[in-house]
Amino acid sequence: MSLPTLLVTHSDFARHPTPPGHPESPGRITATLPRLRACLPKTIRWLEPEIGTSDLLRSVHAESYIERIEKLSRDGLVLLDEGDTFAGLHSYETALLAIGAAATAIDRVASGEAANAFALVRPPGHHARPAAAMGFCLFNTVAAAARYAQKKYGYRRILIVDWDLHHGNGTQEIFEEDPSVFFLSLHEYPLYPGTGRASERGKGEGEGFTLNLPMKAGSGDAEYGAVFREQVVPAADAFRPDFVLVSAGFDAHREDPLGNLMLSERGFAEMTMRIREVAERHCRGKLVSVLEGGYNLDALARCIDAHLCALEAKESPPAGAGLRLR
């Protein structure tokens, strides 16, 4: 029997507070989980995360910064460093639970209990810098996940594919001098946070292990498909990853309020398949994907459904046939 695809999530991800009207709202959890319960195939296995440890945080963040977020999470809502990023009651525990969800997903995939997994978490993480919150992100979940996979399981080469609308500047900064983590990002450019030019390719020993693929406003499934074929898949194959992580933001969807990209659910499913095939070619399919952005609640649920169905699909659809998406 083939191994299941996991959905690692918890209703407690709604506990991190943001002010009314903020796009990164608890509704991203409270509205999405019931919809997924209703529409996802029953073969997708739901799993609750274990809480992350402060050791995981310390693998990518400064001690003083971790303490600061912990302290702020005992009081009311405060605006942090940059880009509409808030912390308040329960923010620390919620961000730690997000890292725990990624670690739980890696455990199940590494041990061979699951084929692959998606961690549906908030707050997002890819803008978080070693000692600063940024762009709705407190702790860098995918970066901590990469370090965890390396330390606990000895995977040497970790590929992180980030297709969130925005450039994952925090993840890039954490790994830019590290040739063991290949950070590959597609994002609208120019747009917040202003980084992610094609000329940013890593530094020192890490030179060549950062690949930025800026996308013009208006780009959609066709443009992403071409960039995947011509650049993403060849670069990922050349790296020969031991484990694949995806920073899966869905704010590049055409209905999302924050950007100007035009991807459809089908486009996200296609990208998922292409990256899954990379994982199958190099590391027996070992792939863990982590939610980043996605702010139209209706589109978010449809995109996650499409992403999970593509992670689970037993074989690639014939060219042009596409997946049957509800």
State the residues that interact with Zn ion by CB under 5 A: 164-166, 249, 251, 293
Residue 230: DSSP 8-state: I
Which C-beta is closer to Zn ion: that of 249 or that of 285?
Answer: 249
- Report whether 185 contacts 172 (CB < 8 A): yes
Across-strand partners of 181? 158
* Residue 127 appears among annotated catalytic residues: yes
Rg (CA), the chain: 18
CA distance 316 to 269: 11
**CB of 224 or CB of 243, closer to Zn ion:** 224
Catalytic position from the list 10, 16, 61, 127: 127
Looking at beta carbons, which residue is closest to Zn ion?
293
Helices of type H across 59-138: 63-72, 91-110
Q: Which is nearer to Zn ion, 59 or 185 (CB)?
A: 185
- Tokens matching residue 260: 């100007």
Q: Are 135 and 166 in contact (CB under 8 A)?
A: yes
Give the alpha-carbon dihedral of 163, 166, 170, 174, to 10 degrees: 40
Q: How far is the CB of 165 from Zn ion (least distance, A)?
A: 4
Is the CB of residue 185 less than 8 Å from the CB of residue 175? no
> How far is 46 from 40, CA to CA, in rounded Å?
10
CA separation for the pair 110, 220 (Å, rounded):
33
Q: Rounded CA gap, 243 and 149, in Å? A: 8
Q: Please report how close the Cβ of residue 11 comes to Zn ion at its closest, in angstroms.
A: 23
CA–CA gap between residue 32 and residue 219 (Å, rounded): 26
Q: Taking the complex as a whole, how short is the minimal distance between the CB of residue 228 and Zn ion, in angstroms? A: 19
CB of 304 to Zn ion, least distance (A): 15
Give the chain's length: 326
Instruction: Evaluate whether 134 touches 79 at the Cβ level (below 8 Å).
Output: no
**For Zn ion, which is the closer residue by CB, 10 or 166?**
166
Omega before 124 cis (within 30°)? no
Nearest distance in Å: CB 227, Zn ion: 18
Tokens of 307: 């992403």
Provide the minimum distance between the beta carbon of 54 and Zn ion in the complex, in angstroms, as a whole number. 26
Q: Which is nearer to Zn ion, 247 or 264 (CB)?
A: 247
**Between residues 107 and 162, which has the closer beta carbon with respect to Zn ion?**
162
The residues carrying an active-site annotation are 127
